[in-house]
Amino acid sequence: MFLFIIFLMILYIALAAVFLRFVRKKTPNKLYRRLAVAFVILLPSWDVLLGFIVYYPACLFVPKNAIYETAETDGIYYEGDASNFLLVLSDGRNFTSYAKNDHDKGFKYSESLITKTGDDLEKRRVSPVLYRCETIPLRPDEYFKTPIDCKPASSVQSDYMVKTQIIVFGRAGIGIVKVYNRRTNKLMAEYREVQRASSINLLGLPFFNWLNIWDGSPKIYSCPENSRFNYFQFDVLKPNR
């Protein structure tokens, strides 16, 4: 990966030099030449620059944490950007992003409206399908596995919905969580935060990260500092005793 990134940088510098020379020959207009220079400088790192521009001002007014009502329930129903992916495990089981957290918190089931599926390397869009995740028995030699399997369901069982939205601006994003009572359609709680992902290539440089040439997971900066995006619903909804 390191050599590949170095190769891309050298290739881009060479192509940029050819492009600038071409523009210089084609036009004497200084504005066009300056625009060409700005283009080759910004193209590799526009997402990082946009992320900085959005992140710091947004931190001043976007964050919100408001709970208007709490409730107890056997399970939670999820919709939105953070819960729409069904992971197919190597042993054939299906798994949704919030299933393990809900299981660990003591909820009997977790439901999600799925619009993407596949594995860690390949994700594809599918028509919306409701999945319900429940605890399953495991053999003694499977102690290391999470005892959860997710299967299609005909209708939503939970009275409470957690709806998530992620609005992306380059390397920054705004995460929004809203909790609703499905029976009354009443908003019970809402949460907002701003996030910024650091550079993730081996050189630590903002070079074509938007091409998803990754080396591990990026460091995430959150505003507020202690992110509750994936856990805010547990401040609002508790498992039935």
Is residue 115 within 8 Å of residue 81, measured between CB atoms?
no
Distance separating alpha carbons of residues 236 and 177, to the nearest angstrom = 11
Selection from 19, 36, 62 nearest residue 175 by Cα: 62
Strands 148-152 and 220-223, how do they pair? unpaired
What is the pLDDT at residue 74?
A: 96
What is the pLDDT at residue 112?
A: 96
What is the pLDDT at residue 61?
A: 94
Q: Where does 122-211 have alpha helices with state H?
A: none
Phi, psi at residue 152, to the nearest 5°? -60, 145
67 conformational bin, left if phi > 0, alpha if psi -120 to 50, beta if neither: beta
List Cβ<8 Å contacts ≥24 apart for 123-127: 123/85
What is the pLDDT at residue 1?
A: 55
Strands 186-197 and 220-223, how do they pair? antiparallel
| Whether pTM exceeds 0.75 | yes
What is the pLDDT at residue 42?
A: 75
Task: Average pLDDT across each block of 10 residues of the chain; the chain has 241 residues. List them in order.
Answer: 66 80 84 81 78 91 96 96 87 87 94 85 83 87 82 96 94 95 97 85 60 64 92 96 81
- Torsion over CA: 135, 136, 140, 143 (sign): negative
Enumerate residues 6+ apart whose C-beta is below 8 A from 157.
Answer: 75, 77, 109, 111, 132
